[in-house]
Structure 1
Amino acid sequence: MLAAKFAARAAAARRPGARLSSTVAGPSSYRLVVIGGGAAGLAVSSTLSEKLGANEVAVIEPSAVHYQQPLFTFVGGGLKSFADTHRPTADVIAPGAKWIRQAAAAIDPAQNTVTLADGARVSYEYLVVAAGIELDFAGIKGLEAAIGRDGVASNYSPKYVQKTFEFLQNVRSGNALFTMPATPIKCAGAPQKIAYLADELFREKDVRHRVNLSYYTALGKIFAIDKYADAMNSVAQSRGIDVNLFHDLVEVDGPAKKATFQILGSGPRAGESVTVPYEFLHVTPPMKPYDFIKRSPIANAAGFVDVNQYTLQHSRFPNVYAIGDCSSLPTSKTAAAAAAQAKVLKHNLLRQIRGSVGPAASYDGYTSCPLVTGKHKLVLAEFSGYTGKPHETFFFNQANEHAFSYWLTADVLPEVYWNSMLKGTWSGPAAIRRVANPVSSD
């Protein structure tokens, strides 16, 4: 019985001189296993390692470096240092959690095991999947060969984000292109944010009149929520940025510096290809679920972990939960969403572990996407992905560009991220909203 196994292991760990191995040399077992050491995984594992006790929680995470990805836009725009974005993983994992520095390779929910990349298996009583989403640079023909050179960059990768500002500084004329793919992605506002920062940089360098800025999105709107879509259309129009809807980047010819788009939708030009020369190209790569999730019984047809959108509990395996970008939750994939989800997940998982009879917590789809539009200017989009309605924290109209919103995002939230979210003590601005904007739309 699993319960007997966990009880025996816990008792052994409590004996004087007992010490669990710091590496996985064979089958091992934990009360809770969390796959993923990103923002979502750490927000969960930090709290639950305190609640369940030392060595009861394991975090499976292969990377030695933890990145605060929301800052990548600021780095690409030359507003923050890359050094501000990352810390050693060992410094951000809770002391009471066991760090298994491996990648997950397979999940067997029937046997309650996770197989690691080296073939070792880890047993769990409960599992939280917080693996994130995979960048698919290979999903665009020619992109892997072109990225990081000759004016092609991406703020979505720590490998290429510094190239964005480097290449932007060298632009004197020609076309600067910014793309958004057709797949679900994390931080869906980031593809256009860098276009506004580039516009501002070109104006400061007095070359804007010689540079054409174009935003190509595979979607039918510039932003999913109408209130903020209207705002961003106005910003783009005021800056002279050409917005092209239903245009999906399918090929990059690095040597020729040309980008090819396929026109989507049902319009008269649907299915056509358009090739555009560029001097600078910022690519948001397609993204996809990790293969080890997609191949497992916990995945839905799209390859995401199939969970109840309100409780975050798996639809078929009750001891499995998912949070963040790898989940099937129908809302935008952001750190703000993960913070709100973490509170719900931790409540419901602890309720299950303890056999409590109180009501389950419910996630309402809250997410936030701070849309940087320039130095000290930002549209603070907050909404529910479930209802499509704004869910704003402050009393002013957050669809307007505000210096306060910029300061909050650029200076305050990074500190909240490192000092509170990763430690499991930040669950979003709901408490602030009750005071600052009690009539906010729910």
Structure 2
Amino acid sequence: MTSANSSSNVFDVVIAGGGAAGIGLAASLKSRDRSLNIAIIEPSEEHYYQPSWTLVGGGAFNVKNSRRQTKDLIPSGVRWIKEKIVGFNPDANEVLVSNGAAIKYKQLAIATGIKTNWDAIPGLKETLGKNGVTSNYSYEYSPYTWELVQSLKSGKAIFTQPPMPIKCPGAPQKAMYLSCYEWQKQGRLKNIEVELDNAGAALFGVADFVPPLMEYVKKYNAKLNFNSNLISVDGPAKKAIFAVKDADGNVTQIERSFDMLHVVPPQGPQDCLKGSPVSNADGFVDVDQFTLQHTRYPNIFGLGDCCSSPNSKTAAAARKQIVVVAENLLAAKHNKPLPTKYDGYGSCPLTVENGKIVLAEFGFGGKLLPTFPWLINPLKATRLAWILKKDVLPWLYWNAMLKGREWLARPFEN
């Protein structure tokens, strides 16, 4: 680790953000060229494997196994600048950090992730972790989800999904399915009214996966409310207010009572990207969706949840994007044509019950991109996909993706 003030030299590559995409890219670049002088700018001392939190909320994963120290994950030979990024000055090839320093680079990869805006819903932060209000989008509160599932005997359970973009768009309904599975197993589901309030207009963004998911919606007798967005919470009163849009576009506010409320917070670009010269109008890093190179600054690339590519924001997407950026960045460094194209791959293992998953893998335009089509039926809930999600993928994350080992990480050939 180093302070920004001690970094007066120009780095070959600066990686803005030390999450999954940032650390994975650093390892990937070092595996290709050990001589590269690379810095990662990341303020957080702890790193989380967030995809496991759905399983934590379903009683199938120990939350402590999702957390490690950032210092133990930074690849050997990579400088860690433990500062918060406050802005970008691409015309001067600088990243601005919180202590006033400017980190200089020859090439920049932006991987700052997406921000969870807990404050965007009035009353939410004050009641999280109590009054039956929880969220699997948090290390701290995902265990509380399982506590509520175990303790709820009857009443109303509401699961919410905010407008896009969000991390892992399938996660809001995953929480519902795993909760319902447990209630059904305990013989309590018949006494619990279950509802999913989705700010969007469809159960899932890729139509092929809707029929197998609807089988479980019907199995669990869950009610689907579309165009219904949570806008405030009164935890002590156990009331939630939703903005509901009708077919004509008219919006009305509806109050609903709950005994359990699983909330997915609204999400958006990091503060350092809003209004930045490297961002588009929505605040995401403005990249070519295929090469992931910046549309205006050829020595800048974007990857992970912060980039403008219209893919599903998942760790699986970052895993593929790492290869694309590593190969294209090094090609750009040597003024060569960019050799690798991103196909929009994203994966959402939809946990429809404890022990079975619909493994949704897809690319741009909703094209199905199954990794193991001969082994796992992508349109059926399978036990094998559950084993992959619960046991294999966490191991691959810590031991392959963050270590520069790129097994099955290349984009599919077009």
User: Counterpart of 1:18?
Assistant: none
CA contact (8 A) 1:339 1:427 kept: no
How far did 1:26 drift?
A: 4.9
User: Counterpart of 1:87?
Assistant: 68
How far did 1:430 drift?
A: 5.6
How far did 1:50 drift?
A: 4.2
SS at match of 1:387: helix
Q: Which amino acid aligns with 1:363?
A: Y
Q: Does 1:46 align with 2:30?
A: no
Q: Which amino acid aligns with 1:280?
A: M
Q: Which amino acid aligns with 1:362?
A: K
How far did 1:412 drift?
A: 0.8
Name the CA distance, whole Å, in 1 between partners of 2:252 and 2:294: 41
CA contact (8 A) 1:26 1:120 kept: no
Q: What is the TM-score with the length of structure 2 in the denominator?
A: 0.95
CA contact (8 A) 2:13 2:107 kept: yes
User: Counterpart of 2:229?
Assistant: 248
CA contact (8 A) 1:55 1:98 kept: no
CA contact (8 A) 1:26 1:121 kept: no
CA contact (8 A) 1:71 1:80 kept: yes
Q: What is the TM-score with the length of structure 1 in the denominator?
A: 0.89
Q: Does 1:216 align with 2:194?
A: no
How far did 1:269 drift?
A: 7.4
SS at match of 2:126: helix
CA contact (8 A) 1:35 1:60 kept: yes
Deviations 1:63-101 (A, max 9, x none): 111101110101111100011111111111101100111
SS at match of 1:425: coil
Q: Does 1:289 align with 2:269?
A: yes
Name the CA distance, whole Å, in 1 between partners of 2:250 and 2:151: 35
How far did 1:27 drift?
A: 5.1
How far did 1:25 drift?
A: 2.4
Name the CA distance, whole Å, in 2 between partners of 1:38 and 1:428: 20
Deviations 1:266-323 (A, max 9, x none): 5157301111101110000000101111131001000000000010000001111100
User: Counterpart of 1:3?
Assistant: none
User: Counterpart of 1:302?
Assistant: 282
How far did 1:59 drift?
A: 0.5
SS at match of 1:260: strand
User: Counterpart of 1:342?
Assistant: 322
User: Counterpart of 1:7?
Assistant: none
Q: Report the identity percentage.
A: 38
Of 337, 341, 345, 1:362 maps to 341
SS at match of 1:409: helix
Q: What root-mean-square deviation, in Å, do the aligned CA atoms of Structure 1 and Structure 2 show? A: 1.8
Of 375, 386, 396, 2:354 maps to 375
Q: Does 1:126 align with 2:104?
A: no
Distance 1:317 1:282, change over 3 A: same
Name the CA distance, whole Å, in 2 between partners of 1:276 and 1:354: 59
User: Gapped runs of 5+ residues in structure 2?
Assistant: none
Deviations 1:323-367 (A, max 9, x none): 01000000100011111111111110011112335x521111111
Name the CA distance, whole Å, in 2 between partners of 1:401 and 1:235: 10
Deviations 1:163-186 (A, max 9, x none): 111222221211111000013001
Of 381, 390, 396, 1:410 maps to 390
Q: Which amino acid aligns with 1:390?
A: L
Larger radius of gyration: 1
CA contact (8 A) 1:263 1:269 kept: no
Name the CA distance, whole Å, in 2 between partners of 1:427 and 1:38: 20
Q: Which amino acid aligns with 2:133?
A: V
User: Gapped runs of 5+ residues in structure 1?
Assistant: 1-20, 435-441
Of 347, 351, 368, 1:390 maps to 368
Q: Which amino acid aligns with 1:79?
A: A
Q: Identify which range, 112-121 or 244-253, moves more after superposition.
A: 112-121
SS at match of 2:396: helix
Q: Which has the higher contact order (CA 8 A, sep 6+)?
A: 2
Of 108, 116, 119, 1:138 maps to 119
Distance 1:70 1:184, change over 3 A: same
Q: Which amino acid aligns with 1:387?
A: G
Q: Does 1:196 align with 2:196?
A: no
How far did 1:415 drift?
A: 0.8
The alignment covers a number of residue pairs equal to: 411
SS at match of 1:422: helix
How far did 1:159 drift?
A: 2.2
